[in-house]
Amino acid sequence: MASFLRSYNCLDEETGQSGSQALLIDEDLFVYIVERYDGFSRLVEQFNAVEERAQYISRHTHEINMRGLDMLANQMNLEKIHRRA
Protein backbone atom coordinates (compact mmCIF):
# COMPACT_ATOMS: atom_id res chain seq x y z
CA MET A 1 0.00 0.00 0.00
CA ALA A 2 2.80 2.41 0.89
CA SER A 3 4.67 1.73 -2.35
CA PHE A 4 1.44 2.24 -4.30
CA LEU A 5 0.83 5.62 -2.66
CA ARG A 6 4.46 6.66 -3.21
CA SER A 7 4.34 5.77 -6.88
CA TYR A 8 0.88 7.29 -7.45
CA ASN A 9 1.35 10.51 -9.45
CA CYS A 10 -1.40 12.85 -10.45
CA LEU A 11 -1.49 15.43 -13.20
CA ASP A 12 -1.60 19.04 -12.22
CA GLU A 13 -4.76 20.44 -13.79
CA GLU A 14 -3.19 23.80 -14.65
CA THR A 15 0.18 22.75 -16.08
CA GLY A 16 -0.55 19.19 -17.17
CA GLN A 17 2.64 17.96 -15.52
CA SER A 18 2.87 15.31 -12.90
CA GLY A 19 3.24 16.52 -9.36
CA SER A 20 2.32 15.78 -5.81
CA GLN A 21 0.67 19.00 -4.67
CA ALA A 22 -2.90 17.73 -5.01
CA LEU A 23 -3.94 14.13 -5.16
CA LEU A 24 -7.38 13.34 -6.51
CA ILE A 25 -8.65 9.79 -6.11
CA ASP A 26 -12.06 8.36 -6.73
CA GLU A 27 -14.41 7.31 -3.94
CA ASP A 28 -13.89 3.56 -4.36
CA LEU A 29 -10.12 3.90 -4.00
CA PHE A 30 -10.58 6.13 -0.95
CA VAL A 31 -12.89 3.58 0.70
CA TYR A 32 -10.40 0.81 -0.11
CA ILE A 33 -7.50 2.73 1.44
CA VAL A 34 -9.49 3.64 4.55
CA GLU A 35 -10.67 0.05 5.06
CA ARG A 36 -7.15 -1.32 4.62
CA TYR A 37 -5.60 1.26 6.95
CA ASP A 38 -8.36 0.85 9.53
CA GLY A 39 -7.98 -2.92 9.56
CA PHE A 40 -4.19 -2.64 9.75
CA SER A 41 -4.34 -0.09 12.58
CA ARG A 42 -6.69 -2.36 14.54
CA LEU A 43 -4.33 -5.26 13.99
CA VAL A 44 -1.39 -3.19 15.24
CA GLU A 45 -3.38 -2.12 18.32
CA GLN A 46 -4.33 -5.71 19.10
CA PHE A 47 -0.74 -6.84 18.63
CA ASN A 48 0.49 -4.12 21.02
CA ALA A 49 -2.15 -5.10 23.59
CA VAL A 50 -1.12 -8.77 23.39
CA GLU A 51 2.54 -7.80 23.72
CA GLU A 52 1.81 -5.69 26.81
CA ARG A 53 -0.18 -8.54 28.39
CA ALA A 54 2.64 -10.99 27.66
CA GLN A 55 5.16 -8.68 29.33
CA TYR A 56 2.85 -8.26 32.34
CA ILE A 57 2.41 -12.03 32.68
CA SER A 58 6.13 -12.59 32.28
CA ARG A 59 6.97 -10.13 35.06
CA HIS A 60 4.44 -11.60 37.45
CA THR A 61 5.40 -15.19 36.65
CA HIS A 62 9.01 -14.34 37.49
CA GLU A 63 7.92 -12.76 40.79
CA ILE A 64 5.79 -15.81 41.67
CA ASN A 65 8.66 -18.16 40.82
CA MET A 66 11.04 -16.15 43.01
CA ARG A 67 8.58 -16.25 45.92
CA GLY A 68 8.24 -20.00 45.45
CA LEU A 69 12.02 -20.42 45.52
CA ASP A 70 12.23 -18.30 48.69
CA MET A 71 9.54 -20.43 50.34
CA LEU A 72 11.37 -23.62 49.31
CA ALA A 73 14.67 -22.30 50.67
CA ASN A 74 12.98 -21.36 53.96
CA GLN A 75 11.40 -24.81 54.20
CA MET A 76 14.77 -26.49 53.64
CA ASN A 77 16.38 -24.28 56.28
CA LEU A 78 13.65 -25.24 58.75
CA GLU A 79 14.22 -28.93 57.99
CA LYS A 80 17.97 -28.51 58.67
CA ILE A 81 17.26 -26.74 61.96
CA HIS A 82 14.74 -29.41 62.91
CA ARG A 83 17.26 -32.21 62.19
CA ARG A 84 19.92 -30.49 64.33
CA ALA A 85 17.49 -30.07 67.20
pLDDT category of residue 53 using cuts at 50, 70 and 90: very high
Residue type, 76: M
Give the tens place of pLDDT for each residue, 11-34. Answer: 444 554 554 555 667 777 777 777
Q: How many domains does the chain have?
A: 1
Identify the DSSP state of 14: T
Residue span of the structural domain in which 34 resides: 26-84
In a domain, 9, yes or no: no
The answer to the question of residue 16 being in a domain is no
Q: What dihedral do alpha carbons 43, 35, 21, 2 form, nearest 10°?
A: 40
Residue 5 φ/ψ, nearest 5 degrees: -70, -35
- For residue 31, being part of any structural domain is answered with yes
Q: Is residue 3 part of a domain?
A: no
pLDDT in tens, 54-72: 999 988 888 888 888 888 8
Task: Name the pTM for this structure.
Answer: 0.41
